[in-house]
Amino acid sequence: MRIRAWYVHWDGDVHILPQGTKADPVLVAVVRDVFPSMPMKMVRGAHPIVPFMVEADEEKRDEWLKHGCNAYEAPHPECRPLSVWVMEDVEAYLKNAKNLLSG
């Protein structure tokens, strides 16, 4: 729902922006489940979808409380669909994906 709202708000001018974290492949999979051809860019640009996770980081928690999952009004607007995930969620997703691929 958040990814679709972000896409619609920006008239499709959005992309996946990896951050070099363990959550990157999860973000790509989640976004491409909704929009299979969503481009991925390695540099920050307009309207990115990022693997932002709040998890035990007070500054990130405050940022999330201020702007939410879709930070339209943030200094650098971004969609953060994994913001409510914790690392255990990411690891479980990756494990499940690995099991599906090997099974």
Residue 30: pLDDT band by 50, 70, 90 thresholds?
Answer: very high
Tell me the pLDDT tens digit for each residue of 50-82.
Answer: 999 999 899 999 999 999 999 999 999 999 999
Assigned token pair, 84: 């409510």
The answer to whether residues 80 and 64 touch, using CB atoms and an 8 Å cutoff, is yes
pLDDT of residue 102: 80
Tell me the pLDDT tens digit for each residue of 34-46.
Answer: 999 999 998 888 8
Does pLDDT of 4 surpass 70? yes
Supply the pTM of this predicted model. Answer: 0.91
Question: Would you call 49 helix, strand, or coil by DSSP?
Answer: strand
Does pLDDT of 103 surpass 90? no
What interhelical angle do 2-9 and 24-34 show, nearest 10?
70
pLDDT of residue 27: 97
The number of beta carbons lying within 10 Å of the beta carbon of residue 75 is 8
The answer to whether residues 38 and 6 touch, using CB atoms and an 8 Å cutoff, is no
For 52-64, b/e burial (b = at least 16 CB within 10 A) is: bbbbeeeeeeebb
Assigned token pair, 2: 């958040």
Mean pLDDT across the chain: 94
